[in-house]
Amino acid sequence: MNRNSSISTIYIGLLGLATVAFGLADILVWAGASPGISFGILEIAGDDFFRWAWGGVIMVSGGLFMISGMKDAGKNLQQFAKVVLGTIMVWIITGTDIFARFCESVPAGEEAPEFFNSLAGFIGGFAPPYPPAILLLPFTLVIAYFLFTREFSET
């Protein structure tokens, strides 16, 4: 067995498991199983159906795609396509989370007399804690690296 192939298989499997776990945590927190999870720079809290319940389903699906495509992902294009699809699903949720942070940082608080936030307040809006999708972003970028550096057989 090729060493690089086994390392990428383990990496993709662990990333898929983490994605499924974060997605299930999103759904459970939205459903009320927990008031929220806050651990270091990770925060899962919210009652917005679209982001937490539906976004959790997308994260779980993306993780399952990654797990189902991890075997022979370095050799088989169809298997790696599943991994890329799961990664793109995580990127969609990450993009919505980053866009939400951006939109929340533009206006000043209700107690401020001005409408737009100061530069320091705007940048402060991007401080931790982060939702799980944003924390998974750097790890999913490795999949993009695999995409641009691998050659696949026709099997």
Average model confidence (pLDDT) across the chain: 88
Rg (CA), the chain: 18
Helix axes 3-31, 77-105, angle to 10 degrees: 40
Q: How far, in Å, CA of 118 to CA of 101, rounded?
A: 15
For residue 152, what pLDDT band results from cuts at 50, 70 and 90? low
pLDDT at position 2 is 59
DSSP, collapsed to helix, strand or coil, labels residue 70 as: coil
The stretches of the chain forming alpha helices (DSSP H) are 3-31, 55-69, 77-105, 119-124, 132-149
Instruction: List pLDDT tens digits, range 89-131.
Output: 999 999 999 999 999 899 887 888 888 888 888 898 888 999 9
Q: How far, in Å, CA of 110 to CA of 71, rounded?
A: 52
Q: Is the pLDDT of residue 1 over 80?
A: no
User: pTM for the complete prediction?
Assistant: 0.88
DSSP, collapsed to helix, strand or coil, labels residue 13 as: helix
Q: Which residues contact 70 (CB under 8 A, 6 or more apart)?
A: 9, 12, 13, 16, 79, 83
Q: Tokens standing for 7?
A: 């390392």
